[in-house]
Amino acid sequence: MTDRSSSGLKRGWFERLVQQFSGEAQDREELLTELRDAGARGLVDPDALDMLEGVLAVGDLKARDIMVPRSHMTCLSRDESADKLLPIVIESGHSRFPVIGAERDEVVGIVLAKDLLRYYAEKHLDDFDMREVLRPAVMVPESKRLNVLLKEFRKNRHHMAIVVDEYGGVAGLVTIEDVIEQIVGDIADEHDVEEDQAIRRDSERQYTVQALTRIGVFNDYFGAALSDEEFDTVGGLVAHSFGRLPRRNDIARIGGFEFRILKVNQRRIESLKVTAPRDVMPPSEPLG
């Protein structure tokens, strides 16, 4: 096949993709079949094909499908002092926070962590007034389609939106990163552990552990004796100790170990920060 004919085919697929988003395409499955066939023939890079499929999926997904539910939101109180808010900001690791008033459904704005940290750096905590650093909160309905939301995020330069239910109550929040991850896949951060690395040593007594690490593997590594009679994974054992799906930064203490939740989604724990007892001597290895 000539370069000209190849470029013509690619242009044809692109035009059909554009039509899909403009509502003119009749059969999305046919378009996906053609894209996958192009991938099988090496005309479309596998990573590009994954993203194209993600783009098409975003047109079907709504804010409710990917939002961080209300119970997992890390919120700041408008009326708290800066010295009480800063530990929450530092521990959470987030860059933006919903700010609530007297009630949790009363989201009065968004605050950026850097705005709070500036007060701390300049030692003006006594002069801190949340109202001076508040930014407007963007509210979107649960039914907002992600392709439309992404376009609005980009146009208005917003990075976070509060998702509200049909009664006007807060249902959760969604960020531009959440939407982009539906297209490009998970965006790793410093809390993520490599897929082939169940346990990563971070400091003398602190480790990052994948929640799906089997308890037997954990015990072998640390010389521990956590029970695996009821649960197979460390995440399952820790979640059971709470009696509910925990939130980020929740802490459980089991068998002398401290488990702090690093990442959690709507269904399960993803990773944990583990502080080992002082008398535990796991294998010597380079720090992560």
Tell whether 177 and 205 lie within a shared domain. no
Determine the distance from the C-alpha atom of residue 119 to the mean position of all C-alpha atoms in its chain, rounded to a whole number: 27
Three-class secondary structure of residue 28 per DSSP: helix
Tell whether 14 and 86 lie within a shared domain. no
Tell whether 123 and 144 lie within a shared domain. yes
| pLDDT band at 25; cut points 50, 70, 90 | very low
Tell whether 28 and 89 lie within a shared domain. no
The answer as to whether 252 is a domain residue is yes
Question: In terms of residue numbers, what domain contains 10?
Answer: 3-58
Determine contact, residues 128/89, Cβ cutoff 8 Å. Answer: no
Eight-class DSSP state of 126: G
Q: What is the DSSP string of 147-215?
A: HHHHHHHHHHT--EEEEE-TTS-EEEEEEHHHHHHHHH-----TT---TT-SEEE-SSSEEEEETT-BH
Tell whether 111 and 75 lie within a shared domain. yes
Kindly report, residue by residue over 184-197, the tens digit of the pLDDT: 765 555 545 455 57
Residue 28 exposed, middle or buried by CB count within 10 Å (0-12, 13-18, 19+)? middle
The answer as to whether 282 is a domain residue is no
What's the pLDDT at 15?
52
Tell whether 72 and 102 lie within a shared domain. yes
| pLDDT band at 4; cut points 50, 70, 90 | very low
Percent helix / strand / coil, the chain, rounded to 5: 40, 20, 40
Tell whether 229 and 260 lie within a shared domain. yes
| pLDDT band at 23; cut points 50, 70, 90 | very low
- Average pLDDT rounded to a whole number, residues 77-98: 82
| pLDDT band at 274; cut points 50, 70, 90 | very high
Of 184, 219, 254, the residue at which a domain comes to its end is 184
What's the pLDDT at 284?
58
251 beta partners: 260
Tell whether 172 and 77 lie within a shared domain. yes
pLDDT greater than 60 at residue 18: no
pLDDT greater than 90 at residue 141: yes
pLDDT greater than 50 at residue 17: yes
| pLDDT band at 219; cut points 50, 70, 90 | very high
Give percent of the chain with pLDDT exceeding 70.
81
The answer as to whether 285 is a domain residue is no
| pLDDT band at 24; cut points 50, 70, 90 | very low
Tell whether 246 and 165 lie within a shared domain. no
Whole-angstrom distance, CA of residue 215 vs CA of residue 27: 47
**Residue whose pair of structure tokens reads 């992404």 in the numeric block:** 150
pLDDT greater than 60 at residue 98: yes
Supply the CATH number for residue 243's domain: 3.30.465.10
Kindly report, residue by residue over 278-287, the tens digit of the pLDDT: 877 776 554 4
Kindly report, residue by residue over 222-262, the tens digit of the pLDDT: 999 999 888 889 999 999 999 888 887 789 999 999 999 88
What's the pLDDT at 266?
64
Supply the CATH number for residue 169's domain: 3.10.580.10
Tell whether 131 and 174 lie within a shared domain. yes
Of 14, 31, 58, the residue at which a domain comes to its end is 58
What's the pLDDT at 159?
92
Work out whether the CA dihedral 169, 175, 180, 186 comes out positive or negative: negative
Tell whether 98 and 171 lie within a shared domain. yes
Kindly report, residue by residue over 155-186, the tens digit of the pLDDT: 999 999 999 998 889 999 999 988 888 777 65
Q: Which two tokens stand for residue 257?
A: 């170990």
Whole-angstrom distance, CA of residue 68 vs CA of residue 189: 17
Determine the distance from the C-alpha atom of residue 5 to the mean position of all C-alpha atoms in its chain, rounded to a whole number: 42
Of 136, 160, 184, the residue at which a domain comes to its end is 184
Three-class secondary structure of residue 40 per DSSP: helix
Instruction: Count structural domains, the chain.
Output: 3
| pLDDT band at 21; cut points 50, 70, 90 | very low
Strands of 107-112's sheet in order across: 76-77, 96-100, 107-112
What's the pLDDT at 46?
74
What's the pLDDT at 287?
43
Phi, psi of 19 (to 5 degrees): -60, -35
pLDDT higher for 38 or 176? 176
Q: What is the DSSP string of 51-69?
A: HHHHHHHHTT-BHHHHPEE
The answer as to whether 42 is a domain residue is yes
Give this prediction's pTM. Answer: 0.58
For the chain, state the CA radius of gyration: 23
pLDDT greater than 90 at residue 139: yes
Whole-angstrom distance, CA of residue 89 vs CA of residue 179: 23
